Amino acid sequence: MPSLQPVRGTHDLLPEEMRRYRRVVETARAVAERYGYLEMATPIFEFSEVFQRTLGDTSDIVTKEMYSFTDRGGEQLTLRPEGTAGVARALISQGLLQHLPLKYFYHGPMFRAERPAKGRYRQFHQTGVELLGIAQPQGDAEIITLGAAILRELKVLDRTVLELNTLGDGESREAYRTVLVKYLSGYKDRLSKESLERLERNPLRILDSKDEGDQAIVANAPVYTDYLNPASREFFAAVRRDLDAVGIAYEINPRLVRGLDYYGHTCFEFTAQELGAQKTVMAGGRYDGLVETMGGPPTPGVGWASGIERVAMMLRETLPEPRPIAVVPIGEPAGVAALTLTEDLRSSGFTIDLGFSGNIKKRMARADKIKAVAAVIIGDDELAKGVATLRDLHSGTQEQVPLAQLQDRLAAYRR
């Protein structure tokens, strides 16, 4: 029988990596709360229609990457490949539309059957924010500012580039679509099979093609921003003005697009060259047509998602490893007393590791291994005197402390 391994494209979050993961999530949550975003969570699987409607049946995610299955009741279900669709579904199914505007923060696992690579997994994790019910460009600027604030707090913002573009409104999008189809139609004999299929149904998706031949054609395609109407130009100018006002630097990337029809106006990505091919650490945009696509009323929305693993790879500082106080009993009577003492100390907020077995040498070796800051030693002599021996594991000094005074003496070692 072969040795058991994690499924390809998944990974275990062991304590050291988990501390990096937690730092990303806890920082994102804390900053989002300062901006008024409340934490929520949706199920990790939904009816498949939720994603088929929102991601489009021509997208790579739907056609190649979704983990879908039929449950025992015959329902078609899908592990969520992204978070926004579930939030929009909750907005409709939970009757939240009457409470707009709403600000949400979320985090958790997502699932895509992609080819694994550095920074890309089949089960990966994201943080995300959604601002629902705000149609003004100030909403776009706020969620970008929030994303920058999180990256700044994590001390990685200065190693990223904010790439910014606009898709304009529906009128601008249709004007560009017409021009793009005309241009691409002249290369039908050179486009990939997938791009040919998308040419009539969703030509903007060709701009995202990973095929090298398609990319060479797209490089000389008409630029989206050349076909914006005045209202769209004004909207984009307002977003840039607000970003300039708060000192957030950006680069205009006219090739940055979103292929689905419910996207419009602002789209953006924070990228980091140090991550290589998988360089996007945060991406988002405005999706005013999403809720309507799902059967709800027209509802403006804008948001982003950020890959936790990718941001964690950039961290130079992480949460400190906990350094407990080791309680070391010697002898059976001391074992019972140590258990009671340990629970009292933990109830008072101390981080305590209790040695379970072995002589004092082995138990002290474990204290060193877990990087304990101090050891509280209790044996027959200590019990008879009503004291504990407190050893500082950094200096090696030790003293006997009355049990009644132990908590006060241990305060210096509190985490």
Q: Which of 141, 178, 135, 92 lies closest to 264, judged by CA?
A: 135
Report the length, in residues, of the chain: 415
Does residue 81 contact residue 64 with C-beta atoms inside 8 Å? no
Q: State the helix-helix crossing angle for 230-245 and 137-153, rounded to 10 degrees.
A: 30
**Architecture of domain 15-169+229-314 in this structure:** 2-Layer Sandwich (3.30)
Cα(233)–Cα(245) distance, rounded to whole angstroms? 18
Helix (H) or strand (E) holding 138: helix 137-153
pLDDT greater than 80 at residue 118: no
Copy the structure tokens of residue 108.
Answer: 């958790």
Helix (H, G, I), strand (E, B) or coil at 32: helix
Copy the structure tokens of residue 323.
Answer: 């350094």
Sorted by where each begins, the domain ranges of the chain are 15-169+229-314, 325-413
Instruction: List, in sequence order, every residue forming a beta bridge with 161; answer none if it has no partner.
Output: 271
Give the mean model confidence (pLDDT) for residues 111-116.
85
Give the mean model confidence (pLDDT) for residues 66-94.
94
pLDDT greater than 60 at residue 59: no
The Cβ of residue 397 has, within 10 Å, a number of other Cβ atoms equal to: 9
Cα(203)–Cα(180) distance, rounded to whole angstroms? 7
Does residue 131 contact residue 103 with C-beta atoms inside 8 Å? yes
Q: What is the pLDDT of residue 63?
A: 56
* Residue 123 CB-density burial (10 A; 0-12 exposed, 13-18 middle, 19+ buried): middle
Cα(116)–Cα(124) distance, rounded to whole angstroms? 11
Percent with pLDDT over 90 in the chain: 65
Q: What is the pLDDT of residue 212?
A: 86
pLDDT greater than 60 at residue 57: no
293's CB contacts (< 8 A; 6+ apart) are 53, 54, 261, 262
Give the mean model confidence (pLDDT) for residues 73-81.
94
The Cβ of residue 50 has, within 10 Å, a number of other Cβ atoms equal to: 20
Q: What is the pLDDT of residue 415?
A: 62
Does residue 295 contact residue 92 with C-beta atoms inside 8 Å? yes
Q: What is the pLDDT of residue 300?
A: 97
242's CB contacts (< 8 A; 6+ apart) are 137, 138, 141, 145
pLDDT tens, position by position, 328-376: 998 888 888 889 999 999 999 999 999 777 788 888 889 889 899 999 9
**Architecture of domain 325-413 in this structure:** 3-Layer(aba) Sandwich (3.40)
Q: What pTM was estimated for this model as a whole?
A: 0.89
Give the mean model confidence (pLDDT) for residues 162-185.
92
User: Is residue 101 reached through a cis peptide bond, with omega within 30 degrees of 0 on the bond before it?
Assistant: yes
Residue 293 identity (one-letter amino acid) = T
Q: What is the DSSP string of 139-153?
A: HHHHHHHHHHHHHHH
Residue 137 identity (one-letter amino acid) = P
Q: What is the pLDDT of residue 320?
A: 83
pLDDT tens, position by position, 276-296: 888 999 999 999 989 998 999
Least confident window among 135-144, 351-360, 390-399: 351-360
Q: Rounded to the nearest 5°, which phi and psi values hold at 378?
A: -130, 120
Q: What is the pLDDT of residue 112?
A: 92
pLDDT tens, position by position, 304-318: 999 999 999 999 988
State the chain's mean pLDDT as an integer. Answer: 91
Give the mean model confidence (pLDDT) for residues 198-206.
82
Q: What is the pLDDT of residue 206?
A: 86
pLDDT tens, position by position, 179-197: 999 999 988 888 888 888 8
Q: What is the pLDDT of residue 239?
A: 98
